[in-house]
Amino acid sequence: MAGAVGVAVLAAGVPSAQAITGGQPDYEGHPNVALLLFYSKDAATDEVAFRYRCTGSLVSPTVILTAAHCTEGIEGVVLATFTSEIAQEPPSGLPRAADDLIIDPDTGESTGSTSGFSPDQAGGSFDFVAGTAHVHPAYSGFTDMANWNDVGVVTLTAPVDATPIAVAPLGTLDAVAQPALNSTLFTFVGYGTRVDKPDAGPQRPVPLSYPLIRRVTESPGQKLTEQILQANGNPNDVKGDGGTCFGDSGGPGLLDGQQVTVTSYGFTDNCRYIDGHQRLDIPVVQEWLATFGIPGMAPAGSTPEEPVGPGKGAGKGKATGNGNGNGNANADRPGFGSGDVRGNGAAVGQSNDRGRDDLRAVRAGQSS
């Protein structure tokens, strides 16, 4: 989800990939959850990169865990901030690459960038930390539900002074499979768009780019597969109080204080139905995370193994897809639609991923 600091996979501009629907402001409830800001090229033209945002979680002092579709095809470095409140209204104040110029102040449309963020843009009023993006080597690009692997990490150039989130051990979610799943509440955190009625125009609830803050919600489980946890994100559900939306992509799903998922996709453009979250408690994910020194391999209830030392990630991915990029089911890549990122979801029966928020445009006529 990208746009004027808005919604990445689900929105355009610098908004977020998906924002919490319902729920409430997080304030300092999860100071180890970050907003990720980055530039990624348009897969259709591969000429210039545009600014996007996602969510990520600190899982070691120098590693942020997020979604693969938030780390694929990155130009330059990723900037991460743990500031809870970015902006209540536009402009957001989020930085741009040196060569990214605003060409339409009303929409936030920009020229894009050929180089993305540079490491010297760390710091500033939001205390950004710079990092390098890595994509899971088996990430399917939203084409294979049996091998989804929508996991990425950002390795930071400096440690963060916050308590990391513990990644749940192998098989944690299997213990809450049906029939217990429907009554199990999961906590989701992110910087995504808020779904509400706009100030003007048709009064149908839509994702709104502002306020741009960290939010938190609880959702009951709905379905569990070997790769995916689906949760009920309807804010009117009697068990939970909302779900995820654009800009929340990559954000943590928590159970009993441990991270069990990262936010991956959704089924509707108003973020009020089923949300899809990539499981972390499976071998294909934990074996890769171990190369970055992230523990969690021991099965639930056993003694954890010693973590594997830091290693190299899979490198940078390249955005792929053949959709039309206009927010329809085959949009060319996460976060690059008209505020609604669908990834390649149609190929596997999914609607839209909770991917990056494209910051080039903003919902409801707001500027960046």
pTM: 0.79
Q: What domain count does the chain have?
A: 1
Q: In whole angstroms, give the CA distance from residue 64 to residue 234.
A: 28
**What is the extent of the structural domain holding 154?**
1-368
Q: In whole angstroms, give the CA distance from residue 214 to residue 86.
A: 8
| pLDDT per residue as tens, the chain (368 positions) | 332 333 334 322 333 333 466 678 999 999 999 999 999 986 666 688 999 999 999 999 999 999 999 999 999 999 999 999 999 998 899 999 999 988 888 777 888 999 999 999 999 999 999 999 999 999 999 999 899 999 999 999 999 999 999 999 999 999 999 999 999 999 999 999 877 777 777 877 777 788 999 999 999 999 999 999 999 877 667 676 778 988 999 999 999 999 999 999 988 777 877 899 999 999 999 999 999 999 876 666 554 444 333 332 322 232 222 222 222 222 223 332 222 222 222 223 333 344 456 543 332 333 35
Q: In whole angstroms, give the CA distance from residue 236 to residue 228.
A: 23
- 280 contacts 251 by C-beta, under 8 angstroms: no
Helix, strand and coil content of the chain, in percent to the nearest 5, comes to 10, 35, 55
Please choose, from the candidates 197, 229, 235, 230, the residue with its C-alpha nearest in 3D space to the C-alpha of residue 217.
235
Instruction: Give the H/E segment covering residue 286.
Output: helix 283-290
3-state secondary structure of 211: coil
We report the CATH number of the domain holding residue 201 as 2.40.10.120
Q: In whole angstroms, give the CA distance from residue 286 to residue 262.
A: 13
- 214 contacts 20 by C-beta, under 8 angstroms: no
